[in-house]
Amino acid sequence: MAAVTQTTTPSMWSDEELAEVRGRLQQEIDELEADILRHETEIASGDVTQGAGDDQADAGAKTYEREREIALTLNARDLVAQNERAIARIDAGTYGVCESCHKPIGKERLQAFPRATLCVACKQREERR
């Protein structure tokens, strides 16, 4: 008889709670992807109108605007990737485990920051680096 002493369950997450977090992450992905699409359309249309204005200042403003759009898009893409990773962790049953020290991250922290992959201690250590 093999005694089951394994306690790998990271924290007391019910299926319902996980489904709720998963839903929140998925909704955010949908919103971010809509944002990305909008920004990309704006960036693309900016290329089309290039050369239309001969005003130097206007061109500078356009470049700035375009760079801002690209930065926003990259940021949104990064968030999508983080959310997708969190969802993958939920599906794999490893959600809520710190990626660094493998201890439970803590439910309250995850409910505030659903895409957190580090516990508070590891996060603080990382920020100090």
Is residue 61 part of the contact set for Zn ion (CB under 5 A)? no
**How many Cα atoms sit within 13 Å of 3 on the Cβ side?**
1
Q: Which stretch binds Zn ion (CB under 5 A): 10-18, 62-70, 77-85, 114-122?
A: 114-122
Using the rule CB under 5 A, is 76 a contact of Zn ion?
Answer: no
Contact between 123 and Zn ion per CB under 5 A = no
Q: Does 43 bind Zn ion (CB under 5 A)?
A: no
Q: What type of residue is 27?
A: Q
Angstrom distance (rounded) from CA 82 to CA 40: 20
Paired strand residues for 97: 104
Judged by CB under 5 A, the residue of 76, 80, 98, 116 near Zn ion is 98
